[in-house]
Structure 1
Amino acid sequence: MKKGLFMIALLIFNLAFGQEKKKATDEEKLTKCILENTNYFTFNGQKPDGKGWDILENLFANNQFVAWGEYHNSPLLSQLTNYALESASKYGYKTWCAEISPFAAAELMRIAKSKNPLDTISRIANERPNFTTFPFFQTKEDIGMLTTANQFGYTIWGIDQEFQTAFPYCLDKVYQAQPKNTRERFKAVYDSLQASWWNPEAKLLDSLKKGIKQPNLKRVLDDIKISKDIYYYSDNQRRADLMKTNFYNYYDGLKTKNEKVFFKMGSNHLARGMNLETNLYDIGNAVYELAQRNKTNFSNVYIMVRYTEEEGVITDDLEEKNNQNPKVFSKLYDKDKWVLVDIRSLRLRMRYDNSLTSDTYKMIEKYDYVLVSPEILK
Structure 2
Amino acid sequence: MKKSLIFLFTTFLFITTNAQNKKQVLDSDFLKTHTSYFSINNNIISGEGRKTLETIAKNSQFVVYGEMHGSEQTSVFNKAFIPLLADSNFKYFAIEVGPHSAQKLTDLTTPANKTVENLNTFNTTYTVAQGGEVAVPIPFFESITDAEFLKEARTRNMQLWGIDQEFYFSAFFLMDELTKTTKGSFNYDNIVNLQNQAKGIMYKHFIDELKGENEGAYAVIKEEEEAVKNYFNAFDISNKKAQAIIKDLKISWDIYINWRNDSHVDRISYMRNNFMKHYNEVAKTEKFPKVFTKIGSLHAKKTYSNGAFDIGELTTSLAKKNGTISTSIGSWQPYAKDKDGTIINNFEKYKRSYKRYQTFIPLAKENAFAIINLKAVRDAIENNEIELPNTGDYHKLRNLIYGYDYQLLLPIDEEPTPNRRE
Relative to the length of structure 2, the TM-score reads: 0.81
Judged with a 3 Å threshold, the aligned counterparts in structure 2 of structure 1 residues 345 and 117 are, in CA distance, closer, same or farther, namely closer
Q: CA deviation at 1:294?
A: 0.8
How far apart in 2 are the matches of 1:139 and 1:164?
Answer: 18
2:348 paired with 1:342 = no
How far apart in 2 are the matches of 1:209 and 1:250?
Answer: 30
2:198 paired with 1:162 = no
Q: Percent identity?
A: 22
SS at match of 1:41: strand
| Aligned equivalent of 2:54, options 45, 53, 57 | 57
Structure 1 stretches of 5 or more lacking a match? none
Q: CA deviation at 1:107?
A: 1.0
Match of 1:190 in 2: 195
Judged with a 3 Å threshold, the aligned counterparts in structure 2 of structure 1 residues 166 and 250 are, in CA distance, closer, same or farther, namely same
| Aligned equivalent of 2:156, options 152, 170, 173 | 152
Match of 1:218 in 2: 243
Match of 1:23 in 2: 22
Q: CA deviation at 1:247?
A: 0.4
How far apart in 2 are the matches of 1:97 and 1:209?
Answer: 32
Contact 2:94 2:161 in 1 (8 A): yes
2:118 paired with 1:120 = yes
How far apart in 2 are the matches of 1:165 and 1:87?
Answer: 34
Could you list the per-position Cα deviations for residues 89-117 of structure 1 after superposition, in whole angstroms to 9, with x for gaps in the alignment?
Answer: 11111111111111111111111114622
Match of 1:2 in 2: 2
How far apart in 2 are the matches of 1:363 and 1:241?
Answer: 23
Match of 1:178 in 2: 182
2:345 paired with 1:316 = yes
Judged with a 3 Å threshold, the aligned counterparts in structure 2 of structure 1 residues 331 and 158 are, in CA distance, closer, same or farther, namely same
**Equivalent residue letter for 2:53:** L
Match of 2:208 in 1: none
How far apart in 2 are the matches of 1:8 and 1:305?
Answer: 56
How far apart in 2 are the matches of 1:238 and 1:298?
Answer: 24
Match of 1:39 in 2: 36
Contact 2:34 2:377 in 1 (8 A): no
Judged with a 3 Å threshold, the aligned counterparts in structure 2 of structure 1 residues 357 and 192 are, in CA distance, closer, same or farther, namely farther
Match of 1:270 in 2: 300
Contact 1:189 1:208 in 2 (8 A): no
2:417 paired with 1:359 = no
**Equivalent residue letter for 1:132:** V
Contact 1:209 1:221 in 2 (8 A): no
Q: CA deviation at 1:80?
A: 2.3
SS at match of 2:93: strand
State the aligned residue count. Answer: 373
Contact 2:195 2:231 in 1 (8 A): no
Contact 2:116 2:151 in 1 (8 A): no
SS at match of 1:374: coil
Deviating more after overlay: 179-188 vs 31-40: 179-188
Contact 1:251 1:257 in 2 (8 A): no
SS at match of 2:407: strand
How far apart in 2 are the matches of 1:73 and 1:253?
Answer: 32
Judged with a 3 Å threshold, the aligned counterparts in structure 2 of structure 1 residues 206 and 175 are, in CA distance, closer, same or farther, namely closer
Deviating more after overlay: 297-306 vs 194-203: 194-203
**Equivalent residue letter for 1:317:** N
2:147 paired with 1:143 = yes
| Aligned equivalent of 1:250, options 265, 275, 278 | 278
How far apart in 2 are the matches of 1:210 and 1:165?
Answer: 21
Q: CA deviation at 1:207?
A: 4.4
Q: CA deviation at 1:209?
A: 7.3
Contact 1:69 1:266 in 2 (8 A): yes
**Equivalent residue letter for 2:345:** D
Judged with a 3 Å threshold, the aligned counterparts in structure 2 of structure 1 residues 217 and 23 are, in CA distance, closer, same or farther, namely farther
How far apart in 1 are the matches of 2:353 and 2:181?
Answer: 47
Contact 1:328 1:360 in 2 (8 A): no
SS at match of 1:331: helix
**Equivalent residue letter for 1:252:** N
Contact 2:32 2:363 in 1 (8 A): no
**Equivalent residue letter for 1:316:** N
How far apart in 2 are the matches of 1:182 and 1:371?
Answer: 53
